[in-house]
Amino acid sequence: MSAKYLIPKIAMYLIGAGLLFTLIGYTLSGFSTDRYLNYDQNHWYNVIHIER
């Protein structure tokens, strides 16, 4: 592997990993954009509500 292509390859892996994490987060929200727009007591990262 040439060092010339190492940086672009690493960059593409990082972009792919970011897209995968984004897709996983959107899936956990139930494919609902409203879950991200609800600002009452839940933060934007708290899209999963577990009853105690």
pLDDT tens readout for residues 1-52:
577 889 999 999 999 999 999 888 888 777 777 766 665 665 655 666 666 6
Please count the helices (runs of H) and the strands (runs of E) in the chain.
2, 0
Domain ranges of the chain: 14-39
Residue-level pLDDT at 4: 82
Residue-level pLDDT at 34: 72
Residue-level pLDDT at 30: 77
Task: Name, in order, each residue with C-beta under 8 angstroms of 25's C-beta and a sequence gap of 6 or more.
Answer: 47
Residue-level pLDDT at 2: 72
Residue-level pLDDT at 20: 96
Where do we find the tokens 């509500």? Answer: 49
Backbone dihedral region for residue 31 (phi beyond 0: left; psi -120 to 50: alpha; all else: beta): left
Residue among 22, 29, 20, 32 nearest 47 (CA):
29
